[in-house]
Amino acid sequence: MAAGGGATEYVTHHLVHMTVGEGFWALHIDTLLVSWLLGFVFIGIFYAVARRASVEAPTGIQTAVEACVEFIDNQVSESFHGPKDFVAPLALTIFVWVFLWNLMDLIPVDLFPELLKFVGIEYIRILPSADMNATFGLSLTVLALIVIYGIKGKGWGGYAKELFCHPFGAHPLLWPANLMLNIVELIAKPISLGMRLFGNLYAAEIIFILIALLPIYAQWIPGVAWAIFHILVIPLQAFIFMVLTVVYLGLAYEEH
Protein backbone atom coordinates (compact mmCIF):
# COMPACT_ATOMS: atom_id res chain seq x y z
CA MET A 1 0.00 0.00 0.00
CA ALA A 2 1.07 3.60 -0.53
CA ALA A 3 2.53 5.21 2.52
CA GLY A 4 3.63 8.76 3.09
CA GLY A 5 4.73 9.98 -0.33
CA GLY A 6 1.42 9.69 -2.16
CA ALA A 7 0.23 7.73 -5.15
CA THR A 8 2.58 9.24 -7.73
CA GLU A 9 5.70 8.56 -5.67
CA TYR A 10 4.46 5.05 -4.87
CA VAL A 11 3.90 4.14 -8.53
CA THR A 12 7.19 5.74 -9.62
CA HIS A 13 9.10 3.90 -6.90
CA HIS A 14 7.75 0.54 -8.09
CA LEU A 15 8.81 1.24 -11.67
CA VAL A 16 12.48 1.98 -10.91
CA HIS A 17 15.04 -0.77 -11.48
CA MET A 18 17.97 -1.72 -9.32
CA THR A 19 20.58 -0.26 -11.67
CA VAL A 20 24.35 -0.20 -11.99
CA GLY A 21 25.92 2.38 -14.30
CA GLU A 22 24.36 5.29 -16.16
CA GLY A 23 22.88 6.03 -19.56
CA PHE A 24 23.29 3.51 -22.35
CA TRP A 25 25.61 1.32 -20.28
CA ALA A 26 23.26 1.04 -17.30
CA LEU A 27 22.53 -2.54 -16.26
CA HIS A 28 19.23 -3.54 -14.67
CA ILE A 29 20.59 -5.91 -12.08
CA ASP A 30 17.16 -7.03 -10.90
CA THR A 31 16.12 -8.10 -14.41
CA LEU A 32 19.39 -9.98 -14.92
CA LEU A 33 19.28 -11.76 -11.56
CA VAL A 34 15.63 -12.78 -11.85
CA SER A 35 16.13 -13.97 -15.44
CA TRP A 36 19.17 -16.05 -14.48
CA LEU A 37 17.38 -17.47 -11.44
CA LEU A 38 14.34 -18.46 -13.49
CA GLY A 39 16.62 -19.95 -16.14
CA PHE A 40 18.29 -22.14 -13.51
CA VAL A 41 14.86 -23.13 -12.16
CA PHE A 42 13.79 -24.15 -15.67
CA ILE A 43 16.96 -26.15 -16.29
CA GLY A 44 16.87 -27.72 -12.83
CA ILE A 45 13.26 -28.90 -13.10
CA PHE A 46 13.65 -30.36 -16.58
CA TYR A 47 16.98 -31.99 -15.70
CA ALA A 48 15.57 -33.55 -12.53
CA VAL A 49 12.52 -34.86 -14.39
CA ALA A 50 14.70 -36.32 -17.15
CA ARG A 51 16.94 -38.06 -14.62
CA ARG A 52 14.02 -39.56 -12.70
CA ALA A 53 11.68 -40.27 -15.62
CA SER A 54 9.70 -43.46 -15.24
CA VAL A 55 7.48 -45.23 -17.77
CA GLU A 56 5.74 -47.38 -15.17
CA ALA A 57 4.94 -44.73 -12.58
CA PRO A 58 5.25 -41.18 -14.00
CA THR A 59 4.86 -38.37 -11.52
CA GLY A 60 2.60 -35.39 -12.01
CA ILE A 61 5.49 -33.08 -12.82
CA GLN A 62 6.89 -35.62 -15.31
CA THR A 63 3.52 -35.73 -17.05
CA ALA A 64 3.40 -31.92 -17.18
CA VAL A 65 6.92 -31.67 -18.59
CA GLU A 66 6.26 -34.37 -21.19
CA ALA A 67 3.03 -32.63 -22.23
CA CYS A 68 4.91 -29.33 -22.59
CA VAL A 69 7.68 -30.91 -24.66
CA GLU A 70 5.19 -32.73 -26.90
CA PHE A 71 3.13 -29.57 -27.36
CA ILE A 72 6.16 -27.51 -28.38
CA ASP A 73 7.42 -30.29 -30.68
CA ASN A 74 4.06 -30.38 -32.47
CA GLN A 75 4.07 -26.61 -32.92
CA VAL A 76 7.58 -26.70 -34.36
CA SER A 77 6.69 -29.57 -36.71
CA GLU A 78 3.74 -27.62 -38.08
CA SER A 79 5.58 -24.32 -38.58
CA PHE A 80 9.18 -25.26 -39.35
CA HIS A 81 10.00 -27.77 -42.09
CA GLY A 82 13.76 -27.84 -41.78
CA PRO A 83 15.98 -29.69 -39.27
CA LYS A 84 14.51 -29.35 -35.76
CA ASP A 85 17.58 -30.30 -33.73
CA PHE A 86 18.10 -26.67 -32.67
CA VAL A 87 14.76 -25.01 -33.33
CA ALA A 88 12.69 -27.33 -31.10
CA PRO A 89 14.89 -26.85 -27.99
CA LEU A 90 15.00 -23.12 -28.76
CA ALA A 91 11.19 -22.96 -28.89
CA LEU A 92 10.90 -24.92 -25.63
CA THR A 93 13.39 -22.62 -23.92
CA ILE A 94 11.64 -19.47 -25.11
CA PHE A 95 8.19 -20.72 -24.09
CA VAL A 96 9.13 -21.90 -20.60
CA TRP A 97 11.49 -19.01 -19.86
CA VAL A 98 9.03 -16.32 -20.96
CA PHE A 99 6.24 -18.15 -19.10
CA LEU A 100 8.32 -18.02 -15.90
CA TRP A 101 9.12 -14.35 -16.56
CA ASN A 102 5.41 -13.57 -16.84
CA LEU A 103 4.53 -15.68 -13.82
CA MET A 104 6.45 -13.26 -11.59
CA ASP A 105 3.68 -10.71 -12.17
CA LEU A 106 1.40 -12.69 -9.85
CA ILE A 107 3.67 -12.04 -6.85
CA PRO A 108 2.31 -9.15 -4.73
CA VAL A 109 3.97 -5.92 -5.87
CA ASP A 110 5.02 -4.90 -2.34
CA LEU A 111 6.43 -8.25 -1.20
CA PHE A 112 10.02 -8.10 -2.44
CA PRO A 113 10.46 -4.30 -2.15
CA GLU A 114 9.45 -4.46 1.51
CA LEU A 115 11.58 -7.53 2.29
CA LEU A 116 14.69 -6.17 0.58
CA LYS A 117 14.48 -2.88 2.43
CA PHE A 118 15.95 -4.74 5.42
CA VAL A 119 19.17 -5.41 3.46
CA GLY A 120 19.43 -1.88 2.10
CA ILE A 121 18.00 -2.43 -1.38
CA GLU A 122 15.63 0.44 -2.17
CA TYR A 123 14.57 -0.35 -5.75
CA ILE A 124 13.67 -3.75 -7.15
CA ARG A 125 11.49 -5.02 -10.02
CA ILE A 126 11.09 -8.75 -10.40
CA LEU A 127 9.12 -8.84 -13.69
CA PRO A 128 11.63 -9.19 -16.57
CA SER A 129 8.84 -9.08 -19.17
CA ALA A 130 8.05 -5.50 -18.13
CA ASP A 131 11.64 -4.44 -18.82
CA MET A 132 12.08 -3.39 -22.45
CA ASN A 133 15.75 -4.34 -22.27
CA ALA A 134 14.83 -7.97 -21.57
CA THR A 135 12.13 -8.35 -24.21
CA PHE A 136 14.17 -6.59 -26.89
CA GLY A 137 17.30 -8.51 -25.91
CA LEU A 138 15.42 -11.75 -26.52
CA SER A 139 13.89 -10.48 -29.76
CA LEU A 140 17.29 -9.31 -31.07
CA THR A 141 18.57 -12.84 -30.53
CA VAL A 142 15.64 -14.04 -32.64
CA LEU A 143 16.60 -11.46 -35.31
CA ALA A 144 20.12 -12.86 -35.46
CA LEU A 145 18.73 -16.38 -35.80
CA ILE A 146 16.41 -15.27 -38.61
CA VAL A 147 19.42 -14.03 -40.59
CA ILE A 148 21.42 -17.16 -39.76
CA TYR A 149 18.63 -19.50 -40.82
CA GLY A 150 17.98 -17.45 -43.94
CA ILE A 151 21.60 -17.99 -44.99
CA LYS A 152 21.54 -21.62 -43.82
CA GLY A 153 18.44 -22.46 -45.83
CA LYS A 154 19.17 -20.54 -49.02
CA GLY A 155 22.94 -20.08 -48.98
CA TRP A 156 24.69 -16.71 -49.19
CA GLY A 157 23.73 -16.24 -52.83
CA GLY A 158 20.11 -17.25 -52.37
CA TYR A 159 19.71 -15.04 -49.31
CA ALA A 160 21.23 -12.04 -51.10
CA LYS A 161 19.05 -12.71 -54.12
CA GLU A 162 15.93 -12.71 -51.96
CA LEU A 163 16.97 -9.42 -50.32
CA PHE A 164 17.57 -7.66 -53.63
CA CYS A 165 15.03 -9.32 -55.96
CA HIS A 166 11.95 -9.84 -53.79
CA PRO A 167 9.14 -8.75 -54.00
CA PHE A 168 9.21 -6.42 -57.02
CA GLY A 169 11.51 -8.34 -59.34
CA ALA A 170 15.14 -8.85 -60.30
CA HIS A 171 15.70 -5.72 -62.41
CA PRO A 172 18.72 -3.79 -61.04
CA LEU A 173 16.71 -0.58 -60.83
CA LEU A 174 14.38 -2.31 -58.35
CA TRP A 175 17.16 -3.55 -56.07
CA PRO A 176 17.20 -0.50 -53.75
CA ALA A 177 13.43 -0.65 -53.21
CA ASN A 178 13.53 -4.41 -52.63
CA LEU A 179 16.42 -4.12 -50.19
CA MET A 180 14.80 -1.29 -48.24
CA LEU A 181 11.48 -3.13 -47.99
CA ASN A 182 13.14 -6.36 -46.86
CA ILE A 183 15.23 -4.55 -44.24
CA VAL A 184 12.12 -2.85 -42.86
CA GLU A 185 10.33 -6.21 -42.74
CA LEU A 186 13.32 -7.84 -41.05
CA ILE A 187 13.57 -5.13 -38.37
CA ALA A 188 9.81 -5.10 -37.81
CA LYS A 189 9.81 -8.74 -36.70
CA PRO A 190 11.89 -8.36 -33.52
CA ILE A 191 10.30 -4.99 -32.75
CA SER A 192 6.83 -6.53 -32.85
CA LEU A 193 7.97 -9.47 -30.72
CA GLY A 194 9.59 -7.29 -28.07
CA MET A 195 6.90 -4.60 -27.99
CA ARG A 196 4.00 -7.07 -27.77
CA LEU A 197 5.45 -8.89 -24.76
CA PHE A 198 6.66 -5.73 -23.06
CA GLY A 199 3.42 -3.80 -23.61
CA ASN A 200 1.13 -6.49 -22.27
CA LEU A 201 3.14 -7.24 -19.15
CA TYR A 202 3.99 -3.60 -18.42
CA ALA A 203 0.28 -2.74 -18.54
CA ALA A 204 -0.51 -5.68 -16.26
CA GLU A 205 2.17 -4.55 -13.80
CA ILE A 206 0.77 -1.02 -13.75
CA ILE A 207 -2.72 -2.31 -12.98
CA PHE A 208 -1.45 -4.45 -10.10
CA ILE A 209 0.39 -1.40 -8.71
CA LEU A 210 -2.74 0.74 -8.98
CA ILE A 211 -4.78 -1.94 -7.20
CA ALA A 212 -2.17 -1.95 -4.43
CA LEU A 213 -2.93 1.75 -3.86
CA LEU A 214 -6.36 0.81 -2.55
CA PRO A 215 -6.93 0.08 1.14
CA ILE A 216 -6.20 -3.54 2.05
CA TYR A 217 -9.86 -4.42 2.53
CA ALA A 218 -10.66 -3.10 -0.96
CA GLN A 219 -7.78 -4.79 -2.81
CA TRP A 220 -9.06 -8.35 -2.78
CA ILE A 221 -11.91 -8.23 -5.28
CA PRO A 222 -10.13 -6.31 -8.09
CA GLY A 223 -6.81 -7.99 -7.27
CA VAL A 224 -8.17 -11.53 -7.45
CA ALA A 225 -10.24 -10.74 -10.56
CA TRP A 226 -7.26 -9.25 -12.38
CA ALA A 227 -5.00 -12.12 -11.29
CA ILE A 228 -7.48 -14.70 -12.61
CA PHE A 229 -7.67 -12.88 -15.94
CA HIS A 230 -3.90 -12.52 -15.98
CA ILE A 231 -3.49 -16.29 -15.60
CA LEU A 232 -4.73 -16.48 -19.19
CA VAL A 233 -2.33 -13.76 -20.36
CA ILE A 234 0.78 -15.38 -18.86
CA PRO A 235 0.89 -18.53 -21.04
CA LEU A 236 -0.70 -16.78 -24.02
CA GLN A 237 2.09 -14.21 -24.33
CA ALA A 238 4.74 -16.91 -23.93
CA PHE A 239 3.02 -18.98 -26.63
CA ILE A 240 2.76 -16.03 -29.03
CA PHE A 241 6.43 -15.15 -28.63
CA MET A 242 7.45 -18.78 -29.15
CA VAL A 243 5.24 -19.57 -32.11
CA LEU A 244 6.09 -16.34 -33.95
CA THR A 245 9.78 -17.09 -33.45
CA VAL A 246 9.32 -20.51 -35.04
CA VAL A 247 7.24 -19.07 -37.89
CA TYR A 248 9.84 -16.38 -38.60
CA LEU A 249 12.62 -18.98 -38.65
CA GLY A 250 10.55 -21.18 -40.96
CA LEU A 251 9.92 -18.31 -43.37
CA ALA A 252 13.62 -17.42 -43.33
CA TYR A 253 14.71 -21.01 -43.96
CA GLU A 254 12.34 -21.80 -46.83
CA GLU A 255 12.71 -20.48 -50.36
CA HIS A 256 9.97 -18.24 -51.76
pLDDT, one tens digit per residue, over 114-169 is: 888 888 888 889 999 999 999 999 999 999 999 999 999 889 988 898 888 888 88
pLDDT for the residue 111: 86
Q: How many residues in the chain?
A: 256
Total domains in the fold of the chain: 1
Residue 206 lies in a domain: yes
35 φ, ψ (degrees, to nearest 5) = -65, -45
Residue 139 lies in a domain: yes
CA distances (Å), origin 150, targets 136, 144, 177, 185, 215 = 21, 10, 20, 14, 54
192 is catalytic: yes
**Whether 102 contacts 201, CB under 8 Å:** yes
Structural domain for 154, as ranges: 6-253
pLDDT for the residue 4: 47
pLDDT for the residue 5: 57
pLDDT for the residue 256: 60
Residue 144 lies in a domain: yes
200 is catalytic: yes
The half-sphere exposure of 136 on its side-chain side, counting CA atoms within 13 A, is: 8
Residue 50 lies in a domain: yes
Residue 122 lies in a domain: yes
Residue 16 lies in a domain: yes
pLDDT for the residue 13: 83
Q: Is 4 left (phi over 0), alpha (psi -120 to 50) or beta?
A: left
35 is catalytic: no
Q: By three-state DSSP, how is residue 17 classified?
A: coil
Residue 140 lies in a domain: yes
In order along its 256 residues, the chain shows pLDDT tens digits of 444 457 788 888 888 888 888 877 889 999 999 999 999 999 999 999 998 888 887 888 999 999 999 999 999 998 888 888 899 999 999 999 999 999 999 888 888 888 888 888 888 899 999 999 999 999 999 999 999 999 998 899 888 988 888 888 888 888 899 999 999 999 999 899 999 999 999 998 999 888 888 888 788 888 888 888 888 889 999 999 999 999 999 998 886 6
pLDDT for the residue 171: 81
Burial of residue 144, with CB atoms counted within 10 A of its CB: 0-12 exposed, 13-18 middle, 19 or more buried: exposed
pTM over 0.85: yes
Residue 1 lies in a domain: no
Please tell me which residue in 52, 74, 77, 192 is annotated as part of the active site.
Answer: 192
